[in-house]
Amino acid sequence: MMTTLHAIQLGGLAAQALTEGCTGKVMGITSRGVFLNTGQRILFVTDADYRSPYNIQLSIHPRQFEQFNPGDHWTYSEGVLLFQQKNTGINVIQATLWQPTPAPQVETDLTEQITRIQTLFFRMREIDCSKGWLYLTKPGELASGSEASLILEMTDRFLVGVEKYDLEGTLQAGKSILGRGGGLTPSGDDWLSGFLLYHARTGDQSAFIRELGQVLTVMAFNSTTMISANRIEAACQGWSEELFLEVVDSLLVPDGELSNLSVERLVNYGHSSGVDTCVGIGAALKGMQ
């Protein structure tokens, strides 16, 4: 008997990817959902309640993802993702479409934005100071030759390249950052997506930043995970998970402040993706000083 699951929300990029007759497979499985691909596009079937351009959100149902395995094939037709081998379909016809709203008008200066992102990092360190690349926000003494010191050197070289409008030097540093770390979205990829997201979301995209983002996207599709490459590509358009849009927006208006719940969600998002994306946002601000 066919089991039909019903999506309640569909992200804008997921909607674009689901064209009639497209096919794909299961790429990976997390505690909150299943990553799918179709060509070079990704989708995330999940019961998590955060909004994302890639999400196909389902109602919470215990153990509903246990049946899926990496490599399972699916097809899309007439509003249904069909997993033939699992006798399971996901109906998206009635799902609400979600797309990011425009950013607010920028009302704060750079000094105020830096103060706010530093406050966010302080709050994050209070929750878990060992997450991802959070140490870059307060490096202190790093052991010479350690992975942490190497990452600090790479990210500093990247920001120096940006400051000097040195595309070749920035890309050399970016190449060493791409794919750095483990998981479905390595820390280095998340850092780059946060950096690019800030510039695109705020409308502060010079010709240099646009070209940098375009080349980094091509490099990502050739050198790191498809999920990361999609996040970097989307960041260049100012698109990301709603959690990170809220981070950028909170920097731009006088009364912008993230709730304790939002900060906890950021710290606990992915293995360390929430922290690393925010550290990348902070790096964009640091590079503008």
C-beta contacts of 90-94 below 8 A and 24+ residues apart:
90/4, 90/5, 90/6, 90/7, 90/45, 90/56, 90/58, 91/4, 91/5, 91/6, 91/7, 92/7, 92/10, 92/18, 92/56, 94/6, 94/7, 94/8
Average pLDDT, integer, range 71-75: 97
247-284 confidence digits (pLDDT tens): 999 999 999 889 999 999 999 998 899 999 999 999 99
Give every CB contact of residue 152 below 8 A, 6+ residues apart in sequence. 136, 139, 142
Query: Residue 34: what are its φ and ψ, rounded to 5°?
Result: -130, 125
- At 183 the pLDDT is 80
Model confidence, pTM: 0.94
Alpha-helical (H) ranges within the chain are: 12-17, 110-128, 147-163, 167-177, 187-201, 207-223, 226-235, 242-252, 260-268, 273-286
**1 pLDDT higher than 80:** no
Q: What is the pLDDT of residues 18-53, one digit of tens each?
A: 999 999 999 988 888 999 999 999 999 999 988 999
Q: Which domains can be identified in the chain, with CATH numbers?
A: 3-98 (2.40.50), 110-286 (no CATH)
Give residue 139's pLDDT. 74
Tell me how far apart the alpha carbons of residues 272 and 266 are, in angstroms, rounded to a whole number. 9
Asked whether residue 60 carries a pLDDT value surpassing 90, the answer given is no
